[in-house]
A and B are shown apart, each in its own frame.
Chain A
Amino acid sequence: MSTIVPFGPQHPVLPEPLHLKLVLEDEIVKEALPTLGYVHRGLETLASIRDMDQMVQIVERVCGICSCIHAHTYCMCVEGMMGIEVPQRADFLRIIWSELHRMHSHMLWLGLLADALGMESLFMHVWRLRERVMDVAEATAGNRVIISVNKIGGVRRNMSPDQLRWIVQVVDELETELDKIKSVLTNDYTVKKRTVGKGVLTYQQAYELGAAGPQLRGSGVAQDMRMTGYSAYKYIDFAPVVEKDGDSWARTMVRFRELYQSIDIVRQLIAKIPDGEIAVKVKGKPSGEIVCRSEQPRGELMYYVKASGDKYLDRVRIRTPTFANVPPLLAMLPGCEMADVTVIALSIDPCISCTER
């Protein structure tokens, strides 16, 4: 005796077009099977008709939420193959934007989680705070979401000292605002009732199923690609945020604490940012193979690029964090309640557009 429920691609709580076929018994999930492909565009193939500069704009649109990290990682690949040294200021600026993206992404996610929990006011509140970061993006980069600041060899826009000061002011404000809602996540009986113990992923599972990012750290694995010190991270002090429990609440806490971490990193960056050029001239065509990794809000991003000195790159391969987080999600769903499906799905912060590219 079972109920079969389609979940997505068009579903009000799951904003992303992912389809899950749920087999339920008294609302307990017995089986969950996914269908992907509702966002698949095949943009990796565009590398064969767009040159490497144009590809910067294209990979940026793999996903709009942490767009600049895609462009950044792609640029690192090409720069790596061509042996280009990016000016230090450009590295710092790239990371400032990345961290701002991480902040807006985490807040966006927190809002969506609140919405899945049915807590509309928290959704509204967090998204309102998020608009502050969006304003920063718009003022510094010229666009709210897809900021298009990276280019091969550096960045396209500089930040004035005034702007940097303003950013510090904004993140300070954000910190006080976050303090005010902290107890909702850490203490609230109802919120914890919906998240604690829901969708438990053990250390072992997280490790073996290849989880990434907050999903991995929520299960106690202290792995954060920023520790590799790419770009300007080598100049910054921070330690990965880790929670032990591996449930939805732990993942929530990881992201929430990472908001504070990002605020701290932005402050450090702005304190240390050097003056100087923001880009170098690029000449020639790359060749060879390269792998670059970076940390997105959702976890590890990996680019594999192959080139042979041609006008077009041979292959651009993108491994996104959600792609890695789907198998753990499928492992977490059976046995949970139907009401928790959305919560658990959102606790991995799914980003299907980058999963399918």
Chain B
Amino acid sequence: MPDTESGLASTDGVFTKCESCGDPIYEKDLASRFNVCPHCEFHYPLSAPDRIRLLADTGSFEGRDEGMLAGDPMGFEGYGEKLAAARKKTGLDDAVLSGTARIGGHGVALAAMDFRFIGGSMGSVVGEKISRAMEFAYDEGLPLVIVSSSGGARMFEGVYSLMQMAKTSVALSRYMTGSMPYVSILADPTFGGVTASFATAADVVIAEPKARIGFAGARVIESTTKERLPEGFQTAEFQKDHGLVDRIVHRLALKNDLERFLGLLA
């Protein structure tokens, strides 16, 4: 299992070794395939900007609420440094990008999380930007597409992190009183407060192949219950078998899949 926090395989050289199948990959191939291994089709984490490049019609994305930054409401030791490092590493303000875009010509509100930014954890900025995207989509009558990838709560923000579940839920609840669809896409990994709020309360839940999805992580469960978990526990395929996910869609087919869905309701 690759180190998903790394976000991208190394781009130092020409080749990198697939952490899943062990085969060497041309890094250019990996990038052109949006971080899907050309040999074993393993889906590596995809940054939020790349995710938008994957899904939005070329040049159609217009970011919203840019420049919004995390506060440090608890004065939590080390949070400031953590934020600064994450900003530097990713070039992002926080763990989500949001805005409007066209997908196959269909106007949508689009948000994508970035696991590289403190594990895609949901702090106040994620909650606020997601909620604003929902409000904007509701006001404008746009379909809503959110790509989640999150380790869960941003503990550094304490209860504010928890309250982002409530915030996004009230915003989504209002959005759902309209008749426009909400598609939630779950990328590896999606856990905790994100799964237990906006990421699962969707009309359609799509997951990437083998993405790990759940509330509590497998390691926590194993260490708490001493139970051996079955092969493939919490993978997208497992969750689809358990009726929790609608579709498993290969990353390179995802844009087309959304176009089909949006086209059906257009």
A and B together in one complex:
no
Chain A residues proximal to chain B, CB less than 8 Å: none
